[in-house]
Copies of this chain bind each other. A is one copy, B any other.
Amino acid sequence: MQLTGQNYIAGALSAEGADTFFSVDPRDKSSGDLPFHNATRDEVDRAVSAAVSAFDEIRRFPSSKIAEFLDEVAAQIEALGDDLLHTADRETGLGLPRLTGERARTTGQIRSFAALLRDGAYLRAIINSEAPGQPAIKQMQFPLGPAAIFAASNFPFAFAVAGGDSASALAAGCPIVVKAHPGHPATSELFARAISAAVETQGFPAGTFSMLQGSGIDVGGWLVEHDGIEAVGFTGSLRGGRAIHDIAARRPRPIPVYAEMGSVNPVVITQAALAARADEIAEGLVGSVTMGTGQFCTNPGLILLEDSGASRDFIASVSDQMGAAPAGVLLNQAVASGLDSAVSQTAANARIEVLTGGDPAADGDAFGYSNTVMQTSAAAIRADDRLQVEHFGPVTLFVLCDDSADLRATVGALEGNLTATVHAEASELGDIGDLLHQLREKAGRVIWNGFPTGVAVVPAMQHGGPYPATTAPGTTSVGTNAIYRFMRPIAFQNVPDALLPPALQDGNPLGILRLVDGVYTTGVV
């Protein structure tokens, strides 16, 4: 498919800026020929203004119409065909099998939002009938308004232009202005084309969707500062997410920022678990750390064990396997240099021992980094928060604890994480509960005898956690509850049925689940 290198602003191509950048193949660092145009401040303004206008129309649409639109977005993505996979593979080096799976996940999650809208319970309709001294009050969830979405580099489909943040904001009924990730501009353009086609086919206002290219920080800053933006979804680094959080907080009118900024995803392995299945855990751990060249926000980056011969044998085995595993390709220059810098800084700590890797060894001309295993003590971790920094790549850090109390103290000193994992045995259930629930205070998801990579897209999923994992611990960026980041409740007092949205009308014409005078029911009032 012919690419343009332009921005997609409310259905029109635009390339007003002189600054351009190129798509880079991470396998050989070669640049493409097509210049991609950084959006200008005027283009940002145009995209947001169109989103504001579009919102005035979309907010009147029934959920069913938005559901049809989402289904069409999924269909348009599939219609891009294998060109999408090859384009993304050239830009990310992630490989066709992974990208094929990620495409299915991406269209699947878009369709799951369509299903959510059709079910209707997501509106959280609550009705309190009129009573003596009390008016009738009826509330449900409504869209917040135009949202700015920042795409991630490591999931060019599932957390990018048509990823979970975009899907949940659109499902909520919010127009979106997406800041594409400069690591995969061609892939982004394909998605922009697919969503724009769905906008047109479904008769949505053109401002429902815009996509802006930008290789620096300006475009994102202009976008978040813009008074027309009501909320921000972001998936990326702590530095990037914090910067956006700070810009939004300083606005004359602050807005919510939902930034998912990665994490070290602590894993605790008990001695009993090692005794029972050290080899199995080692194999699983190596797979989880190296999968996708370690470029997952749920990568297990901090492994806590009590010190013992078995633990040391285990670490040696993981280290050997990591050293022997082929080095993968990193996504781009920024990831490669960021990883090198992060590991170098950690390794500079005198209490850190590098067991294997620790250098930017690459496969041929590719962006890469050696599979790396480091080791330190619990005391070292507790003494220096910087050792809890995320190493975004195939890197993990073992923490040897003197004993169970030392381990528990270290868990108590952990920062916020997306996940926390325990490997233990059934025989330990009596003792392990307290550790598990101590870990839960540090994470959004607690995993038992598994690995944190692989985030099931189901309603019960929680992909979030206390800062620095996210800026909004009460929210998730995976699963259907992600929609509530872009909604807010509005109550109606004594408003006649004819003026209420169908979801709040006495006769419940949509037949949805509502909380009516204290009872959950699909019935009428």
Please, which residue of chain B has its CB at the minimum distance from the CB of A416?
A: B253
Is B461 within 8 A of A139, CB to CB? yes
Determine whether the beta carbon of A499 is less than 8 Å from that of B432: yes
Within 8 Å by CB of A460, from B128, B245, B445, lies B128
- CB of A458 within 8 A of CB of B128, answer yes
Which residues in B have their C-beta under 8 angstroms from that of A415?
Answer: 253
Provide the bound-state CA to CA distance between A59 and B438, in Å.
10
- In the complex, residue of chain B having the shortest beta-carbon distance to the beta carbon of A490: B440
B473–A488 touching, CB < 8 Å: yes
Mask of A439-455 contacts with B, CB within 8 angstroms, 1/0:
01101111111100000
Please give me the residue from chain B that is nearest to A141 by CB atom.
B474
Task: Report the stretch among A24-32, A73-81, A180-188, A463-471 that lies at the interface.
Answer: A463-471
Distance in angstroms between the alpha carbons of A498 and B431 in the assembled complex: 12
**How long is the Cα–Cα vector from A250 to B230 in the complex, in angstroms?**
20
A309 within 8 A of B: no
A445-B488 contact in complex given A254-B467, A467-B253, C-beta closer than 8 Å: no
Instruction: Check: A310 CB closer than 8 A to any chain B CB.
Output: no
Q: How far is the CB of A24 from chain B (nearest CB, A)?
A: 34
| A515 contacts B462, C-beta separation under 8 Å | no
Per-position 1/0 for A461-504, Cβ under 8 A of B:
11010111001111010000100110111111111101100000
Known pairs A249-B246, A491-B460, A493-B446; A144 contacts B440 (CB<8 A):
no
Chain B residues whose CB sits within 8 angstroms of the CB of A250 once the complex forms? 246, 249
Interface string of A396-412 (1 = CB under 8 A from B): 00000000000000000
Tell whether, in the assembled complex, residue A472 and residue B256 are in contact, meaning their CB atoms are under 8 Å apart.
yes
Q: Which one of B137, B426, B456, B464 lies within 8 Å of A137 (CB-CB)?
A: B456
Q: Does A134 contact B (CB under 8 A)?
A: yes
Task: Point out the residues of chain B lying under 8 angstroms from A447, CB to CB.
Answer: 493-495
Question: Is there an interface contact between A60 and B460, defined as CB atoms closer than 8 Å?
Answer: no
| Copies of the polypeptide in the assembly | 2
A395 within 8 A of B: no
Return A480 CB to nearest CB of chain B, in Å: 9
User: Once bound together, how far apart are the Cα atoms of A99 and B96, in whole Å?
Assistant: 69
> Does B489 contact A464, Cβ atoms closer than 8 Å?
yes
Answer whether A135 and B450 are a contact pair too, CB < 8 Å, given A441-B59, A468-B253: yes
Tell whether A138 is near chain B: CB-to-CB under 8 Å.
yes
B residues in contact with A436, CB < 8 Å? 495, 499
Interface flag for A222 (CB, 8 Å):
no
Asked whether A450 lies within 8 Å of B494 as measured between CB atoms, the reply is: yes
For residue A127, CB closer than 8 A to chain B, the reply is: yes
- Distance, CA A402 to CA B476, complexed state (A): 46
Q: Compute how far the CA of A249 lies from the CA of B448 in the bound complex, rounded to whole angstroms.
A: 34
A433 on interface, CB distance cutoff 8 Å = yes
A18 at the interface (CB under 8 A from B): no
Known A468-B253, A495-B436, A496-B426; contact A462-B449, beta-carbon cutoff 8 A: no
**Residue from A426, A446, A466 with most neighbouring chain B CB atoms (10 Å):** A446
Assembled-state Cα–Cα distance A518/B480 (Å): 11
Q: A126-B460, A256-B472, A459-B128 are in contact. Are A448 and B494 (CB under 8 A)?
A: yes
Q: How far does the Cβ of A182 sit from chain B's closest Cβ, in whole Å? A: 26
- Interface flag for A121 (CB, 8 Å): yes
For residue A433, which residue of chain B has the nearest CB?
Answer: B499
Q: Is the CB of B498 within 8 A of A59?
A: no
Considering the complex, give the chain B residue whose CB is closest to the CB of A454. Answer: B135
* CB of A138, distance to nearest CB on chain B (Å): 6
Chain A 220-237 interface 0/1 with B at a Cβ cutoff of 8 Å (1 = within)? 000000000010000000
Given known contacts A246-B249, A474-B256, A461 and B491 CB-to-CB distance under 8 angstroms: yes
Q: Which residues of B contact A314 (CB under 8 A)?
A: none
Contact yes or no, A459 B126, CB < 8 A: yes
Which residues on B sit within 8 Å (CB–CB) of A490?
440, 443-446, 462
A145-B441, A440-B492, A444-B488 given; name 13 further pairs at CB < 8 Å: A137-B461, A246-B249, A249-B250, A429-B498, A436-B495, A443-B490, A444-B489, A446-B493, A448-B493, A448-B499, A450-B494, A473-B488, A481-B489
Chain A positions near chain B (C-beta within 8 angstroms): 59-60, 121, 126-128, 134-135, 137-139, 142, 144-145, 230, 245-246, 249-250, 253-256, 415-416, 426, 429, 432-433, 436-437, 440-441, 443-450, 456, 458-462, 464, 466-468, 471-474, 476, 481, 484-485, 487-496, 498-499, 513, 515, 518, 520
13 of the cross-chain contacts (CB-CB < 8 Å) are A144-B474, A230-B466, A245-B249, A249-B254, A432-B499, A433-B498, A443-B490, A446-B490, A447-B495, A450-B494, A462-B490, A464-B488, A474-B485
